[in-house]
A and B are shown apart, each in its own frame.
Chain A
Amino acid sequence: MIIIFAAAVTTSAFVIGIQLPAPVARVDSRLVATPGATIFGEPGVRELAPHHLEARVLARTWQFDPREIRVKVGDTVTFFYTSQDVIHGVKLMGSNVNMMIIPGQVSRLSATFEKAGTFKFLCHEYCGLGHHTMYGEVIVEP
């Protein structure tokens, strides 16, 4: 088993070129919701450039803040997530956004929305009694 494991690690690293994701940034989870202290102090969506948006989403038991994100068809949105309390996760339906949300770390992924509709994003890491109520939605307007 050790031989197989060593061969798999070596092959994936040096032949296939697989790398573990690097941390985007670290934040102090005690101050994360304080306005001005981190980018999550004022969660929401803002335009970086035409058709390029940035969404800063704070996860906490048991809600996402903001819970609703509105974008236009053709927009590319870079999602930044972090957690204020325990480990959460996020899966945005119809996109490649699927990642862990860890207190003290910032998770980042981008998605481009090519068609109008409402896409739910939900916590997929069990985080307590209200886990099943932890969801939000991206509304893509034409």
Chain B
Amino acid sequence: MKLSGRIFYTSITAITAAIVAFAVFRPITVLPRSTIAPGWSLTDASGRAINSEMLRGHMVLYNFSSADCSGTCASQQSALQALFDRLDRLPTEPPITFITLRVDGSTITAHAAHGHEWLTLSGDAPTLKRVVGAGFGVFYDRTTLEPALVLVDGWGIRRAEYRQPQPSVDALERDLGLLLDEARNSTGIARYAYEAAHLFLCYPT
């Protein structure tokens, strides 16, 4: 066999081995890309209009609540507060924003910590139904509000959903960390490694 032929077949074998090794050992873990999150325009407690386009580049964790938040709603909010208090462990860039959508139209004042913000937004009933019900797929009526958290990346793509009454704060922190790592590191040539991680379904277990 000629030298050029050997080089060709050796290269092909090396590339194939690298692909298989990547798929098996998963050196990069990513969160799956789901669907596009719904667009919205809502108001905060001061009446300021905020829309989803203003949050491009932010990692957004959506949650859903109401004024009479009790039971699973209360336990989910306490888990979120625990997570928010842990945000100092995570990088400050890109910013993380928590958004609580109040399905009954009520709002409370926003607060911030560690360079990250927690907004509480609301709107009129038809708009909320369109955003929360049709957009995020969260069922609610006068007496019921299903627990749900939705993690959206800086491009507005849903990356994780948590529908349990008691979300794991550790799992939420891990997923936020993965998302931040991907946003900060997937540039230049490393972007192709992250795309390969998506291709080979290198998701957290």
Contacts and interface: CB of A to CB of B under 8 A. Distances in A.
B16 A6 contact: yes
Interface residues of A, number: 23
A48 B32 contact: no
B198 A19 contact: yes
A129 interface: no
Given A19-B33, A20-B199, A49 B134 contact: yes
A44 to B, nearest CB: 12
Given A2-B12, A13-B195, A25-B163, A78 B32 contact: no
A25 to B, nearest CB: 7
A52 B134 contact: yes
Chain B interface helix/strand/loop/mixed: helix
A22 B34 contact: yes
A3 B199 CA distance: 18
B199 A6 contact: no
B12 A49 contact: no
Contacts of B12: 2-3, 6
A25 B138 contact: no
B198 to A, nearest CB: 6
Nearest to B12: A3
Chain A interface helix/strand/loop/mixed: mixed
Contacts of A14: 192, 195
A75 to B, nearest CB: 11
B19 A6 contact: yes
A48 B161 CA distance: 17
Given A2-B16, A14-B195, A48 B34 contact: no
B137 interface: yes
Contact of A48 (B15, B137, B198): B137
A46 interface: yes
A13 B191 CA distance: 13
A48 B138 contact: yes
A50 B129 contact: yes
Interface in B17-50: 19, 32-34
25 contacts: A6-B12, A6-B15, A6-B16, A9-B19, A13-B195, A13-B196, A13-B199, A19-B33, A20-B201, A22-B33, A23-B32, A24-B34, A25-B161, A46-B139, A47-B133, A48-B133, A49-B130, A49-B132, A49-B133, A50-B134, A51-B134, A52-B133, A54-B137, A54-B139, A76-B134
Given A13-B195, A20-B201, A22-B34, 5 more contacts: A20-B199, A25-B161, A47-B133, A48-B138, A50-B129
Q: 3 tightest CB-CB pairs across the interface, nearest first?
A: A22-B32, A49-B133, A48-B133
